Amino acid sequence: MKLVEVVSGLATAAEVVEQLCELTLSWGKQPVRCHSTPGFIVNRVARPYYSEAWRHWKSRLLHQK
């Protein structure tokens, strides 16, 4: 995956975040700066799609019975 989340906490120095972003870019990855929250950005964004797929799968099972 080309995306790398660079998560900073309350005590994370700005210099550390900048160094991590530079390192990430040197790997050919795209850094995304974010604050510490439960779950990863990609997982939170994809959750509605997972829920919709689950709903369709469950609906098919109910209609087969």
pLDDT tens digits along 42-59: 777 888 888 898 988 888
For every residue of 13-39, DSSP letters joined together read: -HHHHHHHHHHHHHTT-EEEEEE--SS
Q: What is the mean pLDDT of residues 27-38?
A: 90
pLDDT of residue 46: 85
Contact 34, 61 (CB under 8 A): no
Nearest 5°: the CA angle 23, 13, 44 is: 70
pTM assigned to the model = 0.60
